[in-house]
């Protein structure tokens, strides 16, 4: 993997948004605004636009907060040099949001544990879990509420897919995630 | 305790916290880079506001009009509602605004209103 970033959105296999480069918070906000605009132009289901937008943000903030990075630029901008791609396309009215970034090996078990908790939960149970964890703050930490994966499952129309692949550096994995919205 | 007025940005809501008017409102998108740091002064303000709530005749209106928000904001909204509930202050009207075409906006309203039944949160569609 090279030091680049790729974000693209496809509708019926047509790319409607694509971006390549490094990521930081400002770029994520700009991308989110562009994605919102493009979705509002191409999708009449406001609820779907809301869910895609919110899951794009959730995914991008996960990448910003938890990606392996070999350099942190000054002033807490947390620009990351890891390689990832993010795209969304529709077929039978389902948007697919796919991302790919580098993580440290120990994070694989954390992600697996989170997914194990939610894998058999239906929509109602996921809503209940959000309420429970929001009030208990049991998974909350400095960077977030620890609710990201539950929200992803709640706003998705099919189970998310994740994949961990080796990377050519010890202790680092390539993490791929695909959401169906 | 000063009033708080924050302009809306691309990733943070307009925030109005006016103790004289009894008006508290949030409007726009909410996914600040550090959500908890963004809302910390706001939750502290709320704690002080309700602690010094002497006038039983005073009324407070609280508007939640979020367009999009991240999961950390979800937790913050619970925290805000917890502060209000624990204060046991009366004469508070809480309104949850959502797009009438948004199923998830309705679900959010249901989650908050069911979790805090004593607050009588009202839904307002637009």
CA pair distance A101, A114, nearest whole angstrom: 18
Note the pLDDT of residue A14: 57
**SS3 of A98-126:** EEEEEEECHHHHHHHHHHHHHCCCCHHHH
Chain B: give the shortest CA distance to residue A29, in Å. Answer: 7
Domain that holds residue B93: 4-125
What pLDDT, on the 0 to 100 scale, is given for residue A89?
Answer: 57
User: Which residue out of B40, B70, B101 would a mutagenesis test of the A interface target, given it has the greatest number of A Cβ atoms within 10 Å?
Assistant: B70
ipTM score here? 0.90
Q: Chain A: residue nearest B79 by CA?
A: A135
B contact residues 12-71, partner A, Cβ 8 Å cutoff: 31, 33-36, 68-71
- pLDDT > 60? residue A74: no
Whether residue A135 and residue B68 make contact (CB cut-off 8 A), yes or no, is no
Contact B126, B97 (CB under 8 A): yes
Q: What is the pLDDT of residue A44?
A: 73
Those residues of chain B that have pLDDT short of 50 are none
CA angle A166-A169-A171, nearest 5°? Answer: 75
> B104 and A46: CB-CB below 8 Å?
no
Task: Write the CATH number for B54.
Answer: 3.30.750
Please name which of A54, A160, A82, A70 lies closest in space to residue A114, comparing C-alpha atoms: A160
The pLDDT confidence band at residue A4, using thresholds 50, 70 and 90, is very low
Least confident of A83-97, A107-121, B99-113: A83-97
Q: Among residues 120-149 of chain A, which lie with CB inside 8 Å of chain B?
A: 127, 130-131, 133-135, 137, 140, 142-145, 147-148
What is the pLDDT of chain B when averaged over all its residues?
Answer: 95
Number of domain units in chain B: 1
Which of the pair, A2 or A55, is modelled with greater confidence?
A: A55
């Amino acid at each position: 993997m090279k030091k680049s970033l790729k974000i693209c959105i496809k509708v019926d296999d047509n790319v409607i948004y694509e971006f390549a480069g490094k990521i930081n918070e400002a770029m994520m906000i700009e991308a989110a605004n562009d994605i919102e605009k493009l979705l509002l132009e191409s999708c009449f289901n406001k609820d779907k636009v809301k869910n895609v937008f919110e899951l794009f943000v959730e995914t991008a903030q996960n990448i910003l907060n938890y990606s392996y990075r070999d350099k942190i630029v000054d002033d807490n901008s947390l620009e990351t040099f890891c390689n990832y791609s993010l795209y969304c396309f529709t077929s039978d009215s389902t948007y697919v949001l796919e991302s790919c970034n580098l993580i440290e090996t120990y994070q694989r078990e954390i992600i697996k544990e989170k997914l194990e908790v939610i894998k058999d939960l239906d929509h109602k149970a996921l809503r209940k879990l959000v309420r429970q964890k929001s009030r208990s703050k049991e998974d909350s930490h400095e960077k977030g509420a620890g609710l990201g994966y539950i929200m992803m499952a709640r706003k998705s129309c099919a189970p998310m897919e994740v994949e961990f692949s080796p990377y050519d550096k010890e202790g680092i994995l390539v993490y791929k995630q695909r959401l169906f919205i | 305790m000063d009033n708080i007025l924050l302009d809306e940005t691309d990733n943070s809501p307009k925030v109005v916290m006016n103790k004289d008017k009894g008006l508290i409102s949030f409007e726009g998108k909410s996914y600040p880079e550090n959500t908890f740091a963004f809302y910390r002064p706001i939750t502290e303000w709320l704690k002080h506001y309700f602690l010094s709530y002497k006038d039983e005749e005073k009324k407070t209106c609280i508007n939640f009009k979020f367009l999009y928000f991240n999961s950390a904001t979800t937790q913050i909204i619970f925290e805000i509602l917890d502060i209000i509930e624990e204060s046991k202050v009366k004469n508070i009207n809480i309104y949850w605004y959502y797009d009438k075409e948004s199923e998830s906006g309705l679900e959010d309203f249901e989650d908050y209103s069911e979790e805090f039944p004593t607050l009588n949160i009202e839904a307002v569609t637009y």
